[in-house]
Structure 1
């Protein structure tokens, strides 16, 4: 699985951090999401997919998740 985050689209809602805190974080200064792990472990796949689904800006893309 490969995860990409478009920080230009991010609106700082923090939903990704709540859904997958091992994969996403937020910058202190503006709340924009930060991708901590581009290729997270398989056991995090459901959390990462949920994060992509709940992102209001559709800033998260997940490739290779079945």
Structure 2
């Protein structure tokens, strides 16, 4: 059980870090007026957020 919690926390931390990085990249693309890059980053950010929500849901089920 402790191992599962540690694994989940590790995955959650990685997802949170990836989300923060994508948000930073998106801000840079906005400031640089790069619409195609902005759209690609938005899509990637949406997927990461969905993954993060899924992980949170799975942790509720594991409890």
TM-score range, shorter-chain basis? 0.3 to 0.5
* TM norm structure 1: 0.31
* TM norm structure 2: 0.32
Q: Which has the larger radius of gyration?
A: 2
**Higher RCO, Cα 8 Å, sep 6+:** 1
Q: By percentage of residues, which structure has more helix? A: 2
